[in-house]
Structure 1
């Protein structure tokens, strides 16, 4: 049994939409990002069908500079929806309830940062959250709950798992698109080899994904921190901290057994970098063959040209490609070569392609690539990893439970 979607929702309802509008905040200004554009599609559809829409979202965490109210978010969302979005500096108190009751068909209201309530952040089971003041009070004001915040679906927070137990619940368009694309590596058969780009700084996450998918992936294109750690494990003098660096040694020792398992169990599936790029004494990009590295004395910031060419060829001829992490520090144009070229090869291939959320997906916009040339560009980070590793997402599972419970009642 799966979840219900917006296709199952009658028109003209009072709906509570849980979105994820969490964004970078720079000098007090909330930055626009693709999350607004994605959720705006769901909002526009609801508006067109005459729903009264209240949006529940979060920003940052208590104690961080990014923990700010959602007033700016309302203005950014309004630009994407192409109509006014009202804002109320309250989540479920009297001001919020009044603003909700004042909604007319087609109106959109953004409630205050849900993480500013005491009920939201504690990790609890859905049954406990369903009894919270937040869920009990807001659920009385709506006909339906729409879970659209896929990128927070790995959290057991009140606004994510509590409402579906006490309300008619549906998966929004973002939730459906993300879940189906990100879980496809474990659930679909592809016409050709399955390739994963395994890079980025968070090697522990990448290695967890690799071990979970060891029997699903034909080619792991290694780069970033993970690439150096695997090279270190097979005897090359890289993958070590130098100076005050703290990226390699701790992650290597933490994941050593998993790395060794992959090397022994899947030697033909691991594709290693043969050259790496670094900044020379003149501030220019320079490259070195991995076998020539003796006593690592550079921070390697990208894969080299030979590695990039090999990787691009493998990706271009794959039936499916999943990207988990960049191949280099693409924010610096000197070291964007590996990441941008592999993305261009993936964009040009005929296979199914998913680019993971977070930093890697930013390279698409930074270097003029088109999002529509990929099958899916995820806006999720932690939820993307959980989907790839086959772990259940509480925010998805509770929508399925709600549908199952309704089906049992109907019988």
Structure 2
């Protein structure tokens, strides 16, 4: 075995675990999200095995409204666990060390936001981070380190990459499950067609994924800003900004060569929207075929009904489907049709399916779908992109025993 998991960890250890509990914050209130539920499973397993558990996590970045303490996070996590989680307002000072020293079997403490330390955020090599005060102070207090912060695994931060170099290190359940599912498109061979839903507003990220995976994917279902930019490239009057928001033009300029290359060399893999949806004067959903658009004067907020039906049919008949970006602004029910119809088709089929993290995965919960109907629903954003494109994840690499995951 090339890496160790919780199955390899003897019971009754003193364990330092790194999670990603980063959450939206509204007027100072930390909002619940699926990260708590996922990581709670790892904590529950540690508690049941009688470990003494200290948790490290981050929230926001310095200077942002989301940069708050982890006191509320401890309460939310405790609710999922139905087990106390003590918040410690210190990361590696004397208050933290005292709390660690007094841990009993199955106790859980959550140390203060690790990004409130000077050592955490600089992007440095693991060897340099392993010599930091943060790592050198906390590591001797524990028997083992559990890396479970997959959604931050693309960062070379001290608590992600420093500890595994000086401690026995193990992959947590979230880390192992996320990496295996998200890297499947780059590492697995599928007998049938592989489809990727390529949408959302972050066209640059999605187009990079498409460029990297163009020999692995049979159908790119285009939507969102991505879809409009590809339509613009083949001559339709869309993919342009109609107000002061620079959503399309900057991404067009940054990606038009990659778009042109995909159109020229992989034309049969690209599936374009044939119709688009917008809000008419009465704020109702209206649709127009792309051929009828002569002068873009609406923000297009979803693919049209014909496109949604076509995409759902392709997804339902694929062996594997990877979702990277929504097909429309699904947060508004009027413009959820494209995203939800394709997700429904995936859920009802028997394909291997991975739904990317961030906003897209929220549609599953918003529209009453069951996560169990998908092979994997990711809680990661940047790490998901890295895994899709085969880029190394520093937080994964440091957990490997022999350089092989």
TM-score normalised per structure 1: 0.97
CA distance in 1, matches of 2:160, 2:305: 45
Q: Which runs of 5+ in 2 are unaligned?
A: none
CA distance in 1, matches of 2:189, 2:82: 39
Q: Specify the alignment match of 1:188 in structure 2.
A: 188
CA distance in 1, matches of 2:165, 2:128: 10
Is 1:404 equivalent to 2:398 in the alignment? no
RMSD over aligned Cα atoms? 0.8
Please give the per-residue CA displacement for 1:93-137, whole angstroms capped at 9, x wherever unaligned. 000000011111111110000000000000000000000000000
Is 1:219 equivalent to 2:222 in the alignment? no
Question: How far is the alpha carbon of 1:66 from its aligned partner?
Answer: 0.5
CA distance in 1, matches of 2:230, 2:3: 40
Q: Which runs of 5+ in 1 are unaligned?
A: 406-411
CA distance in 2, matches of 1:125, 1:316: 44
Q: Specify the alignment match of 1:275 in structure 2.
A: 275
Q: Specify the alignment match of 2:257 in structure 1.
A: 257
Alignment of 1:340-359 (within 5 A): 340-359=340-359
Please give the per-residue CA displacement for 1:264-308, whole angstroms capped at 9, x wherever unaligned. 111100000000000101111000000010011110000000000
CA distance in 2, matches of 1:125, 1:67: 25
Q: Specify the alignment match of 1:160 in structure 2.
A: 160
Partner secondary structure for residue 391 of structure 2: coil
Question: How far is the alpha carbon of 1:246 from its aligned partner?
Answer: 1.1
CA distance in 1, matches of 2:162, 2:30: 28
Please give the per-residue CA displacement for 1:171-212, whole angstroms capped at 9, x wherever unaligned. 000000000000000111223100000000000000000000
Q: Specify the alignment match of 2:325 in structure 1.
A: 325
Question: How far is the alpha carbon of 1:245 from its aligned partner?
Answer: 2.6
Is 1:310 equivalent to 2:310 in the alignment? yes
Partner secondary structure for residue 209 of structure 1: helix
Is 1:388 equivalent to 2:402 in the alignment? no
Partner secondary structure for residue 140 of structure 1: helix
Matched positions, count:
403
Please give the per-residue CA displacement for 1:330-355, whole angstroms capped at 9, x wherever unaligned. 01111011111111001111010000
Deviates more, 1:314-323 or 1:190-199: 190-199
Partner secondary structure for residue 141 of structure 2: coil
CA distance in 1, matches of 2:4, 2:256: 43
Partner secondary structure for residue 323 of structure 1: strand
Partner secondary structure for residue 398 of structure 2: helix
TM-score normalised per structure 2: 0.99
Alignment of 1:48-59 (within 5 A): 48-59=48-59
Question: How far is the alpha carbon of 1:243 from its aligned partner?
Answer: 2.1
Partner secondary structure for residue 399 of structure 2: helix
Q: Specify the alignment match of 2:60 in structure 1.
A: 60
Alignment of 1:290-305 (within 5 A): 290-305=290-305
CA distance in 2, matches of 1:192, 1:297: 40
Alignment of 1:67-86 (within 5 A): 67-86=67-86
Please give the per-residue CA displacement for 1:127-167, whole angstroms capped at 9, x wherever unaligned. 00000000000001000000000000000000000000000
CA distance in 1, matches of 2:2, 2:87: 33
Deviates more, 1:58-67 or 1:240-249: 240-249
Partner secondary structure for residue 35 of structure 1: helix
CA distance in 2, matches of 1:97, 1:364: 41
CA distance in 2, matches of 1:177, 1:374: 13
Alignment of 1:6-21 (within 5 A): 6-21=6-21
